Amino acid sequence: MGVRRRTSLSHWGAFEATVEDGRLVAARPWADGGADPQMIGVWPDLVYSESRIDRPHVREGFLRDRERAGGEGRGRERMVAVDWDTALALVAEQLQRVHAEHGAASVFGGSYGWSSAGRFHHARTQIRRFLAAAGGFTDQVGNYSWGAANAILPHILGDAEAVSGAATGWETIAAESDVVVAFGGLNPKNWRVTSGGAGHHHMPRHIAEARRRGVKFIIVSPFAGDCPEGLDATFVAPRPNTDTAIMLALAHQALVEGRPDLSFLERYTEGHEAFLDYLRGAADGVPKTLSWAAGLCDVPEAELSALWRTIRQGRVMLTASWSLQRADHGEQPFWALIALAAMLGQIGLPGGGFCFGYGSLNGVGAAARRGFVPAMEGLPNPAGSAVPVASFIEAFLNPGGQIPFNGRTVVFPDVRLVYWAGGNPFHHAQDLFKLEAAWRRPEAIIVHEPWWTSTARRADIVLPATTSAERNDLGGSSRDPFVFAMPKLIEPLAEARDDFVIFRDLADRLGCRTVFDEGLDEMQWLRRLWAKTQARGGRAGLDIPSFETFWKDGLWAVPAPDAPEVLLEAYRRDPEAHPLKTPSGRIELFSRVIAGFAYADAPPHAVWREPREWLGAARDGELHLVTNQPEKRLHSQLYQTRRKNAPETVEINRRDAEARGIGDGDVVRLWNERGACLAIARVGERVRHGVLVMPTGAWFEPDEQAERLEVNGNPNVLTADRRTSALGQACAALSALVRIEPYRRDESKSEAD
Ligand SMILES: Nc1nc2c(c(=O)[nH]1)N[C@H]1C(S)=C(S)[C@@H](COP(=O)(O)OP(=O)(O)OC[C@H]3O[C@@H](n4cnc5c(=O)[nH]c(N)nc54)[C@H](O)[C@@H]3O)O[C@H]1N2
Ligand SMILES: Nc1nc2c(c(=O)[nH]1)N[C@H]1C(S)=C(S)[C@@H](COP(=O)(O)OP(=O)(O)OC[C@H]3O[C@@H](n4cnc5c(=O)[nH]c(N)nc54)[C@H](O)[C@@H]3O)O[C@H]1N2
Ligand SMILES: [Mo]
């Protein structure tokens, strides 16, 4: 067979794969794309990991007693290897049973998760298509990444584009901005990843260009790691979750100095008077002054005042990372940032106004034409049932329960069967010990996974899926100027099958195969997807290669746009000709629609509300736990390739460490009323006092002896299963208080409180 080199794609970048005698032996970043060599280099370890699932498996009790087995044995009982026919017959039988006895909404199949790159084989898309074809299911709406923004932005701007795709181009920042204020910072680790996968990792270059022109950067974050190295930025380190107060105070300062751009507010916004009244403290008697904010965020007033002086003139780009809205009342910092930008009057100008996510994902603000990476088609869900994505634990525990959600009432279905492919809820959900309890409730749990993740180990039926190296696909990201072919590199390992093939066989058994696959096989689907790219190119007047040429070349470079994008540029140019899709057609600083909802935790204009857990409410010894994205993983993906067998690290300020007798490198125990986990302490000055920073993504591994103790360092045993507000019902993981101490094994049992 010899040696072959092929290009392929992962969420962490395009790569060159070397295949020797049918075995993937090496991977390195593609061309000069700038992907992280270490993350790419572990591809062979990932594919041939010991944690690969070789065959279908069924939990022992479930194999014997089916749905009557109860959920107690999940994660405890032995998993028994079975042949594909037995496994598929079991899955089909369970789906039919639940449909017949309880109805389609009792099948929970939202299956949230990033899956792998590749548009056709994208597991979450495939499972939702299959379950829709099979009669319906309960879906999950929104996402963990920017769920709160997704709910609030349409009320303010008419749609959620400003977080889902649109962004002011970095070229305009490098060329026009005087100042960039980055709330939540610009952490370079996050630029390693793009949803869908990227050819170019452009951010370091853009930052360097901006620096060369002398753009001033201000990083607002409790963590100095959020500042790219070599960037001579001013650093403001507030308490977590207090950014809204700072933004409001800056807006108030603009007001008292007579600097708000009144002509902008009048022409382009709706309801600014109500917002300005709030800043003045008309109703609550609290003017939102710099000293008011200084007290809340615990930053000297002089620093906030210096921040104000930096942004009161010149071209100013205000940006917030997505992390800000993954917290209690996470809707508010995004609304407050838009309001502040409106006061400064630069929305719609190159290098000015506001933008979300420059520090969150590679490709935000990249020069790329959107819409050329074809999306795999979904099917309408006949059950019409869906819950907000982060509410699923509550849904499992509380069938028939109701929650308010963005002006509606969601009624939780009676979940009997859970089907997950392409996601890892024992990574992404909050309060994982609570999830463990909720996970026992359904009668049947089915998971497709390439690896024995914590979720796969807690299923009744596990079907081994291929990785993207083992199938043909195409992929890319709308935030990147390429569409990549992803040719099959190697044959499937052991008995692994593609999610598509598994669902096709199940659809066959359930009598819905033609609805599901439309009579097309893998390569025919890829051609059909490519035809969408061609059609789109035709409309744009571009000449797009044939599928054969694309496949042979391995990629197609999407021509660069004629001019860099500027968020809301057309609206600014002519608001009458390009009204926003809000009720007023303008940027809503006060929303009558939200007023109509009458939610106590989401008023009709941007406000400061105390988070339920934050340093302002900390009891003795409690610290604020920030759980951010891991540096060299994608969530829980790549964890299986780690070299050392030690828990995840937690960064702690020297002052807090010394007060607790914690030294650098010590094993520590973090705990609160929800649970406890272990970690290795990194002691230093990067994180502000009172705050701990711990990445997500360690595989959930409860200790066998101690109660509610997790040993790999998965911080989601500590975060609260509470959502941002009735408006967003989104993940609020970043509002959590914990205690920390040196770990001594024998003490751990008695101290779980
Ligand atoms: N505390 C805290 N929690 C958080 C966050 C936080 O900031 N703090 N962030 C949240 C955010 S923004 C997100 S997006 C979520 C991410 O949560 P997830 O998206 O659930 O995390 P991943 O680890 O990417 O899970 C993807 C799973 O799909 C599997 N997989 C990969 N390819 C395939 C395939 O082809 N077929 C099948 N069947 N499976 C496949 C992988 O092995 C992996 O187990 O986490 C959320 N959780
Ligand atoms: N390497 C890598 N990159 C990734 C991912 C990954 O798993 N690995 N995941 C991707 C995904 S799915 C998403 S959604 C994005 C998420 O993008 P973000 O949510 O923006 O990323 P995080 O790393 O969670 O948070 C960024 C920084 O925000 C700071 N921060 C937290 N809370 C506060 C606060 O209240 N105020 C202020 N001022 N700062 C705060 C933290 O110090 C943290 O380092 O990242 C993407 N990029
Ligand atoms: Mo995310």
Helix (H, G, I), strand (E, B) or coil at 36: coil
Is the pLDDT higher at 744 or at 566?
Answer: 566
Domains of the chain with CATH codes? 3-47 (no CATH), 57-142+374-475+488-519 (3.40.50.740), 162-367+565-597 (3.40.228.10), 615-742 (2.40.40.20)
Cα of 362 vs centre of ligand 2, distance in Å, is: 12
Helix (H, G, I), strand (E, B) or coil at 327: coil
Q: Among 12, 241, 418, 424, which residue has the most ligand 1 atoms within 8 Å of its CB, making it the best to mutate?
A: 424
Q: How far is CA 352 from the centre of its chain?
A: 26
Helix residue spans in 557-612 (DSSP H): 569-573, 592-597
Indicate if the pLDDT at residue 751 is higher than 70.
no
Reported as a single tens digit per residue, the pLDDT across 566-605 is: 999 999 999 999 999 999 999 999 999 999 999 999 999 9
- Pick from 390, 393, 404: nearest CA to 733: 390
Q: E strands along 221-344, which residues?
A: 234-236, 269-270, 316-320
User: Is the alpha carbon torsion for 46, 50, 56, 58 positive or negative?
Assistant: negative
Is 358 an annotated catalytic residue?
Answer: no
Tell me, using a 6 A CB cutoff, whether residue 243 lines ligand 1.
no
Tell me, using a 6 A CB cutoff, whether residue 147 lines ligand 1.
no
Phi-psi domain of 486 (left: phi exceeds 0; alpha: psi -120 through 50; beta: other): beta
Exactly one of 112, 144, 551, 608 is catalytic; name it: 112
Contacts of 642 (CB under 8 A, 6+ apart): none
The token pair that represents 505 in the structure block: 């066989």
Q: Determine the pLDDT at residue 676.
A: 98
Indicate if the pLDDT at residue 1 is higher than 80.
no
Helix axes 499-510, 84-102, angle to 10 degrees: 60
Strands 3-10 and 23-29, how do they pair? unpaired
Residue of the nearest CA to atom 39 in ligand 1?
422
Rounded distance between C-alpha atoms, residue 725 and residue 733, angstroms:
13
Ligand showing the shortest atom-to-Cα distance for residue 423: 1
Cα of 425 vs centre of ligand 3, distance in Å, is: 13
Exactly one of 30, 114, 268, 451 is catalytic; name it: 114
Residue of the nearest CA to atom 29 in ligand 2?
184
Cα of 425 vs centre of ligand 1, distance in Å, is: 7
Is 292 an annotated catalytic residue?
Answer: no
Using an 8 Å Cβ cutoff, are 701 and 426 in contact? Answer: no
Tell me, using a 6 A CB cutoff, whether residue 716 lines ligand 1.
yes
Tell me, using a 6 A CB cutoff, whether residue 470 lines ligand 1.
no
Reported as a single tens digit per residue, the pLDDT across 404-462 is: 999 999 999 999 999 999 999 999 999 999 999 999 999 999 999 999 999 999 999 99
Reported as a single tens digit per residue, the pLDDT across 99-157 is: 999 999 999 999 999 999 999 999 999 999 999 999 999 999 999 999 999 999 999 99
Helix (H, G, I), strand (E, B) or coil at 741: strand
Using an 8 Å Cβ cutoff, are 220 and 246 in contact? Answer: yes
Q: What is the mean pLDDT of the chain?
A: 96
- Pick from 409, 402, 430: nearest CA to 328: 430
Q: Determine the pLDDT at residue 259.
A: 87
Ligand 1 atom nearest to CA at 323:
7
Cα of 635 vs centre of ligand 3, distance in Å, is: 8
Helix (H, G, I), strand (E, B) or coil at 474: strand
Buried b (16+ CB within 10 A) or exposed e, 617-628: ebeeebbbbbbb
Indicate if the pLDDT at residue 370 is higher than 70.
yes
- Of the pLDDT bands very low, low, confident and very high (cuts 50, 70, 90), residue 746 is low
Q: Determine the pLDDT at residue 753.
A: 38
Helix axes 243-256, 301-311, angle to 10 degrees: 60
Q: Determine the pLDDT at residue 747.
A: 52
Q: Among 115, 190, 635, which residue has the most ligand 2 atoms within 8 Å of its CB, making it the best to mutate?
A: 190
